[in-house]
């Protein structure tokens, strides 16, 4: 992720640091190049624009231009603003609620929702030795329910038994009841996706949310879909309400624009990133570390 952007920014900022004294024009020229690099990395236009504006405002300050190492100060400002854009602090999944804590997963079909559900379940059971129950609410695709059961066996996490003929909200309620009876700490609800953003999916997700009253609603979004992922996040947040985002396929995403834009556009934190197909390929999204990675 961010390989191209990282190279481009290093080139631009190295040029500044080598220069010694900086004029406001030098900063302006560099910022135009940074803006172009962000847009080529598929960062949303508004996000790129306000990012540049914030950096420029701080960088043309008298203290920077007159300082002994102005270039390095600009690099630090770019770093700080990247961290701000990406969301400041790393945010873990919030389990601070009475058990069973319900986590609802939403997103398009094929985005990695079921895989991520199992990865999160594995992580929670591994780390905190929490007892987790997973339930598939995908009544339209029996194969999706089977897939969650198979992954559950693989990561040794229980899945709710499949009962035919129930609606997604009914399954959600049954999952929560079963979690209460079985003294589970966490119940993860894997809702049905669709191929594209459509009203039926949103309405169903909203119904499930009303029935389950989840503590976390996590959007699973494919990083490779770039701007579409950003629009998806905005729509889901407006219609259903999100508490966080999980970006998948970060391992295949050379540009990283979606990651940079999502927090800024939705205000919701990226909590986790998927970095591969394996069950342990899930990482905490740490803005400071990612900003460091981008600036090399
Ligand atoms: P769903 O339809 O949203 O539930 O998607 P799935 O969980 O079935 O995932 C679709 C495909 O994406 C599967 O082949 C997963 O192994 C793969 N996948 C999921 N997350 C990642 C990821 O972070 N990186 C990579 N490379 N593949 C992933």
The DSSP secondary structure of 124-157, one letter per residue, reads HHHHH---EEEEE--TT-HHHHHHHHHHHHHHT-
Interval 167-219: pLDDT, tens: 999 999 999 999 999 999 999 999 999 998 889 999 999 999 999 999 999 99
Does ligand 1 lie within 6 Å of residue 111's CB atom? Answer: yes
Token digits for 32? 């135009």
- Residue 234 pLDDT greater than 90, yes or no: yes
Check if the beta carbon of residue 242 is closer than 8 Å to that of residue 268: yes
Residue 35: pLDDT over 90: yes
For the residues 34-38, what does the mean pLDDT come to? Answer: 92
pLDDT at 97: 96
Residue 47 per-residue DSSP state: H
pTM for the full model?
A: 0.93
pLDDT in tens, 249-295: 998 887 888 888 999 999 999 999 999 999 999 999 999 988 888 88
Q: What is the percent of the chain with per-residue pLDDT over 70, rounded to a whole number?
A: 99
Tens digit of each residue's pLDDT (9 = 90 or more) over 56-110: 988 887 677 777 788 888 888 999 999 999 998 999 999 999 999 999 999 999 9
Q: Do the annotations mark residue 136 as ligand-binding?
A: no
For Cα atoms 81, 226, 3, give the angle at the middle one, nearest 5 degrees: 60
* ipTM of the shown complex: 0.99
245's enclosing H/E stretch is strand 244-248
Mutate to test the pocket of ligand 1, among 105, 106, 107, 112 (most ligand atoms within 8 A of CB): 112
* Ligand 1 pocket check for 277: Cβ under 6 Å: yes
**pLDDT for res 72:** 85
Is 250 among the annotated ligand-binding positions? yes
> Band of the pLDDT at 247, cuts 50, 70, 90?
very high
Task: Write down the residue that tokens 């030098």 correspond to.
Answer: 26
Alpha-carbon distances of 238 from 30, 126, 153, 211, 268, rounded to whole Å: 36, 34, 35, 18, 11
> What confidence score (pLDDT) does residue 62 get?
66
């Amino acid at each position: 992720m961010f390989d191209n952007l990282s190279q481009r920014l290093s080139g631009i900022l190295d040029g500044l640091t080598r220069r010694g004294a900086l004029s406001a024009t030098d900063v302006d020229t560099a910022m135009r190049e940074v803006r172009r690099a962000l847009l080529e990395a598929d960062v949303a236009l508004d996000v790129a624009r306000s990012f540049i504006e914030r950096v420029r405002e701080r960088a043309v300050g008298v203290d920077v231009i007159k300082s002994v190492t102005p270039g390095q100060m600009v690099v630090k400002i770019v770093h700080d603003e990247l961290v701000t854009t990406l969301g400041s602090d790393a945010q873990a999944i919030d389990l601070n609620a009475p058990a069973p804590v319900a986590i609802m997963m939403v997103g398009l079909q094929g985005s990695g929702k079921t895989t991520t559900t199992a990865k999160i379940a594995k992580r929670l059971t591994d780390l905190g030795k929490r007892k987790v129950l997973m339930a598939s609410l995908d009544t339209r695709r029996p194969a999706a329910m089977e897939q969650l059961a198979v992954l559950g066996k693989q990561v040794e996490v229980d899945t709710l038994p499949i009962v035919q003929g129930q609606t997604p909200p009914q399954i959600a309620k049954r999952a929560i009841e079963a979690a209460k009876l079985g003294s589970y700490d966490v119940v993860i609800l894997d809702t049905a996706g669709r191929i594209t953003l459509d009203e039926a999916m949103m309405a169903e997700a909203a119904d499930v949310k009303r029935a389950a009253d989840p503590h976390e609603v996590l959007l699973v979004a494919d990083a490779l879909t770039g701007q579409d992922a950003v629009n998806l996040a905005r729509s889901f947040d407006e219609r259903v309400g999100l508490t966080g985002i999980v970006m998948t396929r970060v391992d295949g995403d050379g540009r990283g624009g979606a990651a940079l834009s999502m927090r800024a556009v939705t205000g919701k934190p990226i909590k986790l990133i998927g970095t591969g197909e394996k069950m342990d390929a899930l990482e905490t999204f740490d803005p400071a570390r990612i900003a460091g990675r981008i600036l090399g």
